[in-house]
Amino acid sequence: AQSVAQPEDQVNVAEGNPLTVKCTYSVSGNPYLFWYVQYPNRGLQFLLKYITGDNLVKGSYGFEAEFNKSQTSFHLKKPSALVSDSALYFCAVRETGGSYIPTFGRGTSLIVHP
Amino acid sequence: EAQVTQNPRYLITVTGKKLTVTCSQNMNHEYMSWYRQDPGLGLRQIYYSMNVEATDKGDVPEGYKVSRKEKRNFPLILESPSPNQTSLYFCASSLGGQGRWETQYFGPGTRLLVL
């Protein structure tokens, strides 16, 4: 069985400061991991994914995430937050070789203060 | 413009009255899926389709039906809606294939209220 956890319902950060949105996962084998962002009253937008290869993945809008197999984590990061980054962020996992059903986390609300 | 469209965007209905939410994509994507989003639960997949005439159950398929007669369309059917199906629904599509299908493009969502 696969699962994903986003331990923080909300993350607050000041504009210009670095931000981290946490995600941990559990799969039996190897994971495919991805992050999506949802702006108010909009559908989800793909940010980045880890399939294989480099543990540091770079994505859209200056975001990046680091795959850490030993800690089973895939935290989303950005060096300098913008007010426009305020949104709901979802981490998701799918086990390689498993079903085509991804498991999404409950979401983390990121609030960037001016 | 490449996009996934859903209709209607908002719908209020009553228990037991059959309804269909349409989904269409113009990107020639093979993979399409439906999700529901509920507060505190994230997104849960209802059904997915790997290609035309190929559909399969997701995590929460009870009470829903889908069909994939054409590559671009993937309607969601609620034969007899109940209040616990009140939710925000998203359709998504992707190219499919190893390492590509996870890059899903989402529609704008359909907010459904079942009274």
The pLDDT mean for chain A works out to 93
Q: Residue B75 has what DSSP assignment? A: -
Is B101 a residue whose pLDDT tops 70? no
pLDDT tens-place string over residues A60-98: 999 999 999 999 999 999 999 999 999 999 999 998 877
**Residue the block writes with tokens 């559908």:** A43
Mean pLDDT value across residues B6-20? 96
Strands B31-38 and B10-13: unpaired
Secondary structure of chain B: what % helix, strand, coil (to 5)? 5, 50, 45
Quote the distance between the C-alpha of residue B42 and its chain's center.
15
pLDDT tens-place string over residues A7-30: 999 999 999 999 999 999 999 888
Partners of A104 on chain B (C-beta within 8 Å) are 35, 42-44
Contact A44 B50 (CB under 8 A): no
Is B42 an interface residue toward A (CB < 8 Å)? yes
Strands A31-38 and A24-26: unpaired
Rounded Cα distance, B43 and A112, in Å? 24
B71-to-A100, B4, B12, B109 alpha-carbon distances in Å: 18, 13, 28, 20
Sorting pLDDT into bands at 50, 70 and 90, what band is A99?
A: confident
Mean pLDDT value across residues B92-112? 84
Measured torsion, CA atoms of residues B70, B11, B43, A81, in degrees rounded to the nearest 10: 110
Nearest CA to B32 among B100, B97, B105, B87? Answer: B105
Contact B102 A44 (CB under 8 A): no
Is B99 a residue whose pLDDT tops 90? no
Q: How many residues are given for chain B?
A: 115
B57 → chain A, closest CA residue? A101
Is B97 a residue whose pLDDT tops 80? no
The pLDDT mean for chain B works out to 93
Rounded Cα distance, B29 and A93, in Å? 21
Check: CB of residue B34 under 8 Å from CB of residue B91: yes
Rounded Cα distance, A113 and A15, in Å? 6
Supply A62's token pair. 């200056």
Mean pLDDT value across residues B71-85? 97
